[in-house]
Structure 1
Amino acid sequence: MNPSSMPVLSKSLLPKLRSLPEDSPTYYIKMLIHCMVKWKMGMDLLSLIYDWFTASNSQPDQQKSSKKRKRSTSKTAKKSKLVCFIETTNDCRVAPALSYLRCCVDDHVIMDTLLADQQCFEKLESIIEFLNLCTVEVTKRLHNNDPTMDKWSDAMLINALDIQASLLAQVF
């Protein structure tokens, strides 16, 4: 289906994925991801996944991604209006990021479409580089060192390593 035939749905896919609860059914997530990739919004999806991963590894002060303010004045109005945009933060949502990435890796149609786009390919390489940190983290935890990725559970790290192996097999 062409995204221009459903402009409301195509514009709401990314916010919908961003706000899905962690216990959402896999078939629903896969349907949304499939639509995004088919409608050439795969880069937005991969950027969301990458942002969630990097937010999980950064300090709390660095999680603010943007804060915009705009002052607009009208010649007819006597008072100036202050328009404030809500501050957006990069949430640390590791479990959904892993789930979305798993849906991409397990579906060959989605993965082939993402790999065909050069920007998506480069973003996948960035995700693979980030997932290399999971290997280091697992090694630290096995040696009983203090974890640096404290927002990642052991199961998440193992899942990330499995996804990374699948990604490496498909990308290279």
Structure 2
Amino acid sequence: AGQPNVLPIQVVNLGKSTVVLGNMTVSAEGAELQNNTVLVGALDPGGFYTLDATFTPMQAGEMTIKVALNYTDDFNQPRQVEQIIPVTVQESAPIIEPGMPSEGGEVPVQPVQETFLQKVWRFIRGLLGLDSAPPQPVVPQGEAPVQEFESVPVSPLKGP
């Protein structure tokens, strides 16, 4: 919640002929969307078009995202296809400053600083096929490092 996320929406032509599509619009209540409307145009059979909207939910909880696609049918009548995508928005994680203890009293691990010569040496080792991984941060004894964020799976768009 409160953090921008890229929301890739893809439309695919599963038919046997080229179709001409109009505007594709993504909307959601309680969220700010950017880059959420695009003119799709002609899609060949098996072709696809992806809209990468920026989705910023304002609060945590269940939300619905509405995708609307305008087109003209074979009888020259304007039509619209709508798809509702349910999503679960989680609370945003607090920002932890280096050296500042977190809620569990753990001290985050400080990244190891490298000099230019150390970076060059790692590059040469990588060219020779040796271990060229950057040095790992040192965890003080008796303390565990702070865990990284996990990604949240989102259900795919299912068409009619």
Same fold flag (TM > 0.5): no
Q: TM-score range by the shorter chain?
A: under 0.3
The structure where helix makes up a greater share of residues is 1
Of the two, which has the highest radius of gyration? Answer: 2
Q: TM-score, normalised by structure 1?
A: 0.19
The TM-score normalised by the length of structure 2 is 0.20
Q: Report 1 or 2 for greater relative contact order, CA contacts < 8 Å, sequence distance ≥ 6.
A: 1
